[in-house]
Structure 1
Amino acid sequence: MHHNTKPGKKRLLAATGLAAAAALTLSACGSGSGDGGGNDKAVVTDVSGGDHSQDKAVTVLDTPFEKPDLTLTDTHGKKFDLRKETDGKPTLVYFGYTHCPDVCPLTMSNIAVAKKSLPEAERSKLQVVFVSTDPDRDTPAELGKWLTAQDPAFIGMTGDFKTTQAAARSLGISVEPTHKDKNGKLVSTHGTQVIAFSPKTDKGYLLFDKDATVETYTHDIPKILKGEKP
């Protein structure tokens, strides 16, 4: 696309367009309120190369994110230190909640299906961490039950909301306290991005938005296992 555009201008257009696309993923999951506001600080460059170079659902971060210093309770009721437990491991991190009617289960399902396409020896290397944005309802037991239905190996974290919110913000992801919508239903407004952390640097270098499909993850996860760009 735009093969005649000057490199500098092309880079600027790509970064501007993708930043806007990333901002659109900050939504109220299941609330129908659209934009959830945000703190989308990610600086992005062109979409990753390869045979899906036009897939705008994934972006390479120009300035990778530091892995959040986050310790919460896992689905077994034990403390889970994100940095310590995933150190040097390819890791996908997502913020969401189990009562989400749409994007959360779809995102986890897409990742689970893509993971199954990996050779068996490779599957255990990928760490998939789901951090609850609705800790009052997402007890360790409830979160564990929900994640097991997706993939028993998925890791769940739940606990202090403000701690979770700060961790999400450090990744440019907006998370707001659970509240009632106009119909009186409890909803959690949260960004829908998945951040991939490299096993080489432990930094978040890829961002997947809610439009990422099974095919997107199937294509990119083998690269993530090696800390490579898609």
Structure 2
Amino acid sequence: MRLNKIIKYLIGITIAAAVPLLFFFVTPSGRLNIPAYYRPERIVSRMEKGKVVRDTFFHQVRDLTLTNQLGQKVSLNKDLKGKVLVIDFIFTTCPSVCPRLSANMKELQKAYIKKNPELVQFISISVDPERDSVPALREYANRYEADHDRWWFLTGNKDSIFNYAKNELGLLLENADVPGDFVHSQKMILIDTARNIRGYFDGLDKTQTKKIADDIYILNVEKRKHGR
């Protein structure tokens, strides 16, 4: 009798944990609400069973090598292979947007750092790399209680950073080519393990950042399904 009670108790806990996830992630049609792909690059037509089938190929974000707050040279693709990325742009002397962006990124870190730290890497790239030295970034990271292994604050060549933001991530930049201006965006970008862009989110909106947390989970399910 005692064993049966224990089994029933465990089943109850499992159902209680699973039901909210199913409610949250499954649409009325019974399917997961899979994050969309962004930035189509080409469409290729092919014949399949006598019908024309069109395949859309989406932009794959190229690699970028910068220096993190620990003084390490890191590669976003090679060093983070198999990880989902969440990227934003900040600078340490920013008085307005950046503190709110970083506070919301901190909440995302909390959501995943204990449960599944190997799944996702959080990336904050400085748009003022000339002033944002390694010590400055480390101090800023500590301010937001960053796990230095799982949340990188990056600095490096300004042209490379601007090019990456504009040409790889497709951010709309204001006066990006004018010397002295900052590339600044309040967007957070979600990138899957194949380095396709899977979402642009308003990093100041907590509803949007909650959706990032949900979409990271869904991308993990997708990754396991396709074995990537």
* Matching of residues 68-83 of structure 1 within 5 Å: 68-83=62-77
Which of 206, 210, 215 is matched with 2:199 structurally?
A: 206
Q: Is the 8 A contact 1:89 1:202 kept in 2?
A: no
| Partner Cα distance (2:27, 2:182) in 1 | 35
TM-score using structure 2 length: 0.62
Q: CA deviation at 1:220?
A: 3.1
Which of 134, 138, 142 is matched with 1:140 structurally?
A: 134
Q: CA deviation at 1:159?
A: 1.0
TM-score using structure 1 length: 0.62
Structure 1 gaps, min length 5: 1-47, 52-57, 180-186
Which of 194, 217, 222 is matched with 1:222 structurally?
A: 217
Q: 1:110: which partner in 2?
A: 104
Give me the CA root mean square deviation: 2.9
Change (3 A) 1:168 1:189: closer
Q: 1:190: which partner in 2?
A: 184
> What secondary structure sits across from 2:198 in the alignment?
strand
Q: 2:88: which partner in 1?
A: 94
Q: CA deviation at 1:224?
A: 3.8
> What secondary structure sits across from 2:77 in the alignment?
helix
Q: Is the 8 A contact 1:59 1:208 kept in 2?
A: no
Give, as a single letter, the amino acid of the residue that structure 1 aligns with 2:85: T
The Cα offsets for residues 151-205 of structure 1, whole Å up to 9 and x where unpaired, read as 22311210110111111112112273674xxxxxxx7341222111112x22222
Q: Is the 8 A contact 1:59 1:207 kept in 2?
A: no
Change (3 A) 1:117 1:82: closer
> What secondary structure sits across from 2:94 in the alignment?
coil
Give, as a single letter, the amino acid of the residue that structure 1 aligns with 2:64: L
Q: Is the 8 A contact 1:110 1:217 kept in 2?
A: no
Which of 168, 174, 183 is matched with 2:165 structurally?
A: 168
Q: CA deviation at 1:124?
A: 3.9
| Partner Cα distance (1:117, 1:62) in 2 | 28
| Partner Cα distance (1:172, 1:50) in 2 | 29
| Partner Cα distance (2:142, 2:59) in 1 | 28
The Cα offsets for residues 102-153 of structure 1, whole Å up to 9 and x where unpaired, read as 2222122212213323472313421001111101110011112212322223
| Bigger relative contact order (CA 8 A; separation at least 6) | 1
Give, as a single letter, the amino acid of the residue that structure 2 aligns with 1:127: Q
> What secondary structure sits across from 1:121 in the alignment?
coil
Which of 124, 134, 143 is matched with 1:130 structurally?
A: 124
Change (3 A) 1:61 1:136: same
Give, as a single letter, the amino acid of the residue that structure 1 aligns with 2:163: A
Give, as a single letter, the amino acid of the residue that structure 1 aligns with 2:165: A
The total of aligned residue pairs comes to 167
Q: Is the 8 A contact 1:115 1:218 kept in 2?
A: no
Q: CA deviation at 1:81?
A: 1.3
| Partner Cα distance (1:105, 1:125) in 2 | 25
Give, as a single letter, the amino acid of the residue that structure 1 aligns with 2:197: G
Whose radius of gyration is greater, 1 or 2? 2
What percentage of aligned pairs have identical amino acids?
A: 23
Structure 2 gaps, min length 5: 1-24, 29-34, 41-57, 224-228
The Cα offsets for residues 79-113 of structure 1, whole Å up to 9 and x where unpaired, read as 11111112221111112211112222212221221
